[in-house]
Chains A and B, each alone.
Chain A
Amino acid sequence: MSDPTKTELTLIAERLDALTAQVARLAERPRQDDLYDELVPVVRAMMGSAMGRLDAMERDGTLAFVRELGGVGQKVLANFSAADVRQLGDAVVTILETVRTLTQPDVMRVAADAGEAIQHADSAKPMGLFGMMRATKDDDVQRGMAVMMEVLRRVGHGVNAIAAKQQHADDKKAKLAEILGPKRQRKVLGTERAAPPKALPPPTPVVKAAPPAPACAVPAKPGQVAAVIDGVAFTADGNLVDAAAWTRGLATALADAERVALTDAHWAVLDAARADFAATGSSPNIRRLTQVAGVSTKDLYVLFPRAPGRTIAKIAGLPKPAGCL
C-alpha cells in the first residue's frame, strides 16, 4: 500500500479510538433507551466521517480491492458455518503446508503446463484403447503415469487410513453403547411376520423310476413290411415288423441265417434285449446292451462278431437299433 493510504488509515484509526471511548462512556449509563438516544447521533457521526474517508479512498481506487475482498467474505459466510471455521483453524497448519508444497515454483510450472493443455483441450482428438496403448510408448507419458500412480497410491493410502480411523471410532461407539445399554426403545419400523405354514406337497404316487433313456436313442419307427416269409413279416433290413410275432424257434432260425450258434450266453443277451425293448419301447443299441445285459462290449463282439447291435436286434425280433453308440 502507498504512503498516503497509510496516513489515511491512521487517521481513521484515531477517529475510531475516540468514538470507542465515547461509546464506552455511554455504555455505563444504566437506562437502555437513553443509551439508544445518545448512541444514534454518535454512530451517525461515526458512520458519516468513516464514509467520507472511505469515499475519498475509493476515489483514488484503493478501496475497490477491499470491496471485492468483502464480496469474497460474503460468499465465504454464505457457504461456511462457524463450525467449519473452527475446523479450519485446527487444519490451518496442514493447509499452509499444502499451499507451500503446491506453490513451489517447480510444482507451479508443472501445473501451469498441465493447465495450458486443458485450455487447448478442444484440439485433442478422442482416443481409444489402442491409442492409449500407443501413447504409453512416449517417455513423458510413462513418467506422468508413474507420477499419477504414486499420487493414486498415496490418495488410496490416505483414504484407507481415514476409513480405518472411522471404523475404529465406530467400534468405540459400539463398545460404549454396549456398556451403557440401549438409550431408548427403538421404534420398530416393520414387524417380521412369521412365514406362512408351507402347504404339504400332495402325496406323490410311488412310481418305479423309469429307466433312463438310452444314450443317443431315437424311437424306432414302425417297420415297413418288405417281405413275408412263412407267415412272418420282415422289414427291408431283415428285422421283424412286429416284435410280438417272435418265438424262440424263430430266433434259432434267424440266428442260423446270421451264422450265429446260440448258446446260453447268447440267450441271456437276447432276453435282456427283449426285456429292455418291452420296458422302453426302443431297441437297445450296443452301449445300452452292455448296461442292461451286464456284458462287456468285447464279449458282445465275441458272441455276435458281425455288427452285434444289429444282429442281436434281428435275432431277438426287435427293430433295427437307432443312434450312434
Chain B
Amino acid sequence: MTANRKVAIICSKAGLDECYPALILANAARQSGIDAFVFFTFWGLDVITEEKVDHLHVNLAGNPASGMPTMLAGLPGMESLAGRMMRKQMTELSLPSVREMLQILDEAGAELYGCELAMQMFKRKKEELVPQVKDVITAGDFYDLAEGAQIIFT
C-alpha cells in the first residue's frame, strides 16, 4: 500500500515554465493519493506572492529549447511577451493558470509553504502571499515536514 507515501517539492524559481513542473507534480501526487507539500524559496516565492502570481514571465535567455537566440531573448520586454504568449496558449488548452493551480492544490489537500529566509530577503510579509499558503517556515522546519518523504527540487 502507499498509505503514507509523501513527496516534498522545492520550487526555487518563478519562471512560468519553471514553476509549473512543481505545481503539476504536486497535483499529480495528490491525484495519486500521495501526500504532497511544496516549499517555495528564493525566486520561487514570487509564485505565491499575490501581486506577482498572475504576471510570471518565461525565461528565454540562455534557454536553448526556447528557439529564441539569446541575443534577442535578452531584449527588453521579451520575457513578458513570451509569458503572455505562453499564458494565452495555456488558456486555449484550458490549462489552469498558476493561481488556479494553487487553488486546486490547496483544495486537493497539498500544503504550500513559503521560505522564511527568502521572505526576509525580498522584504515580504505573510499578508502579501496568496491565501493558500499554509505557513512561512525555515529550512529546518522543512526537513521536519519532509521526514519520510521523497524530495523533489525544481
Chain A residues close to B by CB (< 8 Å)? 212, 215-216, 285-287, 296-298, 301, 306-310, 324-325
Contact = CB atoms under 8 A, between A and B. Distances in A.
B95 A309 contact: no
Interface of B: 24, 27-28, 30-33, 93-96, 103-104, 107-109
B93 A301 contact: no
The 3 closest A-B CB pairs, nearest first, are: A298-B107, A307-B33, A297-B107
Contacts of B27: 324-325
B33 A301 contact: no
B93 A215 contact: yes
Contacts of B94: 212, 215
A104 B93 CA distance: 73
B95 A215 contact: yes
Nearest to A321: B31
Contact of A296 (B32, B33, B107, B109): B107
A6 B10 CA distance: 105
B31 A307 contact: yes
Contacts of B107: 296-298, 301
A307 B32 CA distance: 5
B81 to A, nearest CB: 24
Contacts of B24: 324-325
Contact of B95 (A286, A298, A301, A325): A325
8 contacts: A215-B93, A215-B95, A286-B31, A287-B104, A296-B107, A298-B107, A301-B107, A310-B32
Contacts of B109: 301
B104 A297 contact: yes
B88 to A, nearest CB: 15
B33 A325 contact: no
Given A301-B107, A307-B33, A324-B24, 10 more contacts: A215-B93, A285-B31, A296-B107, A297-B103, A297-B104, A297-B107, A307-B31, A307-B32, A308-B31, A310-B31
A214 to B, nearest CB: 8
A91 to B, nearest CB: 48
Nearest to A216: B95
Contacts of A212: 94
A296 B106 CA distance: 12
A325 B108 contact: no
A297 B132 CA distance: 14
A178 to B, nearest CB: 47
Contacts of A297: 103-104, 107-108
B96 A301 contact: no
Given A297-B107, A301-B107, A324 B28 contact: yes
B31 A309 contact: yes
Contacts of B96: 215, 287, 325
B31 A216 contact: no
A306 B5 CA distance: 12
A139 to B, nearest CB: 31
A41 to B, nearest CB: 87
A286 B31 CA distance: 8
B96 to A, nearest CB: 7
Contacts of A309: 31
A300 to B, nearest CB: 8
A309 B29 CA distance: 12
B116 to A, nearest CB: 28
A308 B31 CA distance: 6
Nearest to B20: A324
A310 B32 CA distance: 7
Contacts of A308: 31
